[in-house]
Chains A and B, each alone.
Chain A
Amino acid sequence: MINKNVVIIDYGLGNMFSISQACSKVGLKTTITSDPNIICNSDALILPGVGAFGDAMKSLEQLNLIDTIRDFAKTGKPFLGICLGMQLLFNESEEFGTHKGLGLIEGKIHKFRFTQTEPKCIKIPQIQWNKIYFKIENAWNDTSLSGVENNSFMYFVHSYYAKPHDESLILSYSKYADLEYCSSVKKNNITGIQFHPEKSGELGINIYKNWIIKNK
């Protein structure tokens, strides 16, 4: 058991139950809550999310959580966004009009767009197991991806992807059709993961453990 108090933000959207199951399997104790006080006082924070960007920001706003999350991110304690939770870390998204995000990482969320031939074989959303890879050897040491081999398969479900302004923040890349995109990002204590580690087998769930152990 790792003695850290990990909070998963409950804002009515998403996969918090499966994240909490995965965490408990690798020895992390989690609390699912939307209470700003509990969030502030946690040792580590997870922002999950499934669904639409605009609705998610609206829910966080209604729960008065936007400043709470921004303040937490400044403390240097581990903060992790999963799937839509990763996308919310950025400035804005073009999902159904333009929406403002948390603005913790410079960059924008774009929709997958492909020139398709008939029959249309590039499916949107991308729902599949896909590979993640690095471009610099040892790039994953001391990160949540330590112990994951290059080109490992992870489970993805998304129609939008993040494009950080500063490419050096990209932790892993993935490829969908001919598009290479950022499948995880790390800026100091803030990590964003586009795929679902909690649904990516034993390899995936260990990411939660390493995220806590290796946070720098």
Chain B
Amino acid sequence: MYKKNIRIITRLDIKGPNLVKGIHLEGLRVLGKPEDFAKFYYDSGADEIFFQDIVASLYDRNSLKDIIAQTAKNIFIPITVGGGLRTIQDINQVLRSGADKVSINTAGLKNPNFIYDAANKFGSSTIVVAIEAIKQTNGEYHCFIDNGREETGVEVKKWAREVEQLGAGEIIITSVDKEGTKEGLDVELISQISNIVTIPIIVHGGVGSMNDIKIGIEAGADGVAIASLLHYSTYAKFNNSEITEHNEGNLSFLKNKSKNNSLKSITINEIKDFLLDNYISCRK
């Protein structure tokens, strides 16, 4: 049987100039400067960096562009950027700042032709469609927009098929139910999607252990996006004294030097060793 090389993707949620982390995409804690995290992950063997500007639809995007430009100077792995991209010009600006791929959610659901136009203009491999899924009481998964805040009524399976037809090169699927919980990925959601599309699938939301990553890959993921598990192992390494009260998000976690004892400290190297030991291929 053919073995693909799994990508370990570090997911960095950005609010203003800061790296933040929430639960179910809400309740944001400031963890530090995104540039510090991105460089650290690059040096520790991450296969890709994913920046999500989580309030981009509400604020202007200058700090995100600065973060991308700063990162692209020192980091030579693929950089994907998402959050509030609504027009071809928005995409062009982010690519010109140094991103390699862009991720589209809200604008694509509101106007599916946007995905088609973007794929035509920049090439399928540049266009990632982000799907934010929440399980409904009838067992179906539905797509949400604006960081899991608004329901669209669109079924995830149907949308995944459609975005492949529209020319998306990749899908990143977030389980909003699991996001930030570290309870494990939503395996049912992943298998539903991986059974129906032939484009690569990145899974996100809920990774709390190395075994969770293995389970996600067995369900059909081509890449796994990891946030909390790595961020909480990493944030204490940096000098965060410059981050002040004026900045975005909830600072009490950093200020109180809170200990997050629920997670064992972990590195990308350890994750990759674990995968290789379990006969899952990856770059190392």
Contacts and interface: CB of A to CB of B under 8 A. Distances in A.
Contact of B77 (A21, A123, A155): A155
A15 B4 contact: no
B200 A50 contact: no
A41 B152 CA distance: 55
Interface of B: 2, 4-5, 7, 42, 47, 72-74, 76-78, 95-96, 98, 100, 120-126, 169-170, 194-195, 198-200, 220, 222, 282-283
A18 B72 contact: yes
B198 to A, nearest CB: 5
A21 B195 CA distance: 38
A128 B2 CA distance: 14
Interface string A3-47: 000000000010101100110010000000000000000000000
Contacts of A25: 73-74, 76
Given A50-B123, A128-B222, 14 more contacts: A18-B76, A50-B122, A51-B123, A52-B120, A84-B123, A119-B220, A121-B220, A122-B2, A122-B198, A123-B4, A124-B199, A128-B200, A153-B283, A155-B77
Contacts, number: 97
A201 B2 contact: no
A186 B107 CA distance: 43
Contacts of B283: 129, 153
A177 B73 CA distance: 34
Contacts of A125: 124-125, 169, 199-200
By Cβ-Cβ distance, the 7 closest A-B pairs, closest first, are: A51-B123, A129-B283, A153-B283, A157-B125, A119-B195, A50-B123, A123-B200
Interface residues of A, number: 39
Contacts of B95: 17
A18 B169 contact: no
B222 A127 contact: yes
B96 A128 contact: no
Given A15-B100, A199-B78, A52 B194 contact: no
B101 to A, nearest CB: 9
Contacts of B199: 123-125
Contacts of B100: 15, 18, 199
Given A18-B98, A153-B283, A205-B76, A129 B170 contact: no
Contacts of B73: 21, 25
Contact of A124 (B72, B122, B198): B198
Contacts of B7: 127-129
